[in-house]
Amino acid sequence: MCVQRCHDCGAASHPPRRYCPDCYSDDWEFEPIAGTATVYGYTHVHRPAREFETDAPVLSAIVTLDEGPRLMGRIADDPATVEVGSRVRLDASTLSAENVRLTFELLPD
């Protein structure tokens, strides 16, 4: 997975855009992410969309990537152990052409 990195101001952004959202430069490139992030906020979803009913309850979270952009994904670990500020890592093994839902796992303290 990648974010866009602006060559003029250095900002990282996601989702991809034609122009940098900070300085409007069109001089950027895609940069691979480390996959580590911090939980910004989360909620428990007990009645998810029909295609995800078998996964309920789902811990849906907004995380701040170490590169800066915020993304929404789910956290696969025990919901009782997740809190704002928890460190997580993207589990890229769950991604495929059929499954683009981002799943994060807790990092040990």
Residues forming the site for Zn ion (CB under 5 A): 6, 8-9, 11, 20, 22-23, 25
Q: Rank residues 6 and 59 by Cβ distance to Zn ion and give the closer one.
A: 6
> Minimum distance from CB of 13 to Zn ion (Å)?
8
Integer Cα distance of 65 and 63 in angstroms = 6
Q: Which of 1, 19, 18 has its CA nearest to residue 9?
A: 19
Complex with Zn ion: residue 11 or 102, whichever CB lies closer: 11
Q: What is the dihedral of CA 84, 5, 10, 87, to 10 degrees?
A: 20
Could you check whether the bond before residue 21 is cis, i.e. omega within 30 degrees of 0?
no
CB of 36 to Zn ion, least distance (A): 23
- CB of 65 vs Zn ion, minimal distance in Å: 17
Taking the complex as a whole, how short is the minimal distance between the CB of residue 18 and Zn ion, in angstroms?
A: 12
Q: What is the DSSP string of 58-78?
A: EEEEEEEETTS-EEEEEE-S-
